A = this chain, B = another copy of it.
């Protein structure tokens, strides 16, 4: 049996699964102060007989296995968790090996192994929710280097009609600061699901997300883009994003996926629905 943790900005998903990737037991707990959340995590896994643990976490987090601070959170906008040794605390308490990557990197890997990108070699995964993050699976590995990608913090050009100052504590109006769920709510004074029929809301949101995807396409050239997260539950948004990506690329990348309606098979929703992250963490445990 393998343990899996998806540590997110608003909730932790905890699961136990087998080597085929089946989830046999699962629990969701809110992300509160570590002193509240972590004992619940330990308690869930205790006596479950897991032999390895995979952790897909929000970031920034140290994912360098050779580092002294492997699994330690860094300058996250979630203040209670800054510098918290997430991986080490869990590893010691449960006495099992733990493998750590970002939530979005493992989600990209899970979609490549078991989801909507099993037919291609490279997969890009983006989530638009409490925050905006993205990961990639490239050449048989998740993407990392000096640190891990923090793709939600790129800057995109401002929509001419949008004057919202932005909510990122580090960069004000980076992508996450202007297009995450909370930013959307602050800009319009209502939650996304109360704004479903306001076309201007989604035109601006699609403008930002399509710009970001266009940059990711130019930089990574992924073979499939998966886009999930709470904000994407607004079904009208994905078609708007696809249309805008085609317009912005303006035919420069010679692929039917990026010039016509085949984009419907290129930018898609997660095949694992809301389980891409937790299944990715499970995959990490199984293959560590």
A-to-B contact residues, CB < 8 Å: 60, 62, 74-75, 121-122, 134, 138-141, 143-158, 170-171, 211, 214-223, 248, 250-255, 257-258, 266
Copies of this chain, count: 2
> What secondary structure prevails in chain A residues at the interface with B?
loop
Of the residues B146, B248, B252, B258, contact of A253 by C-beta under 8 Å: B146
11 pairs from A and B in contact (CB 8 Å cutoff): A60-B254, A75-B254, A138-B138, A145-B223, A147-B255, A149-B221, A155-B157, A157-B157, A171-B248, A171-B252, A220-B220
Residues on B with C-beta less than 8 A from A171 are 248, 250, 252
Of the residues B121, B150, B157, B214, contact of A145 by C-beta under 8 Å: B121
Q: Nearest-CB distance from A253 to chain B (Å)?
A: 6
Residues on B with C-beta less than 8 A from A151 are 218-219
From known contacts A144-B221, A145-B138, A222-B145, infer whether A251 and B75 are also in contact, taking CB-CB under 8 Å.
yes
Inter-subunit contact B139/A170 (CB<8 Å): no
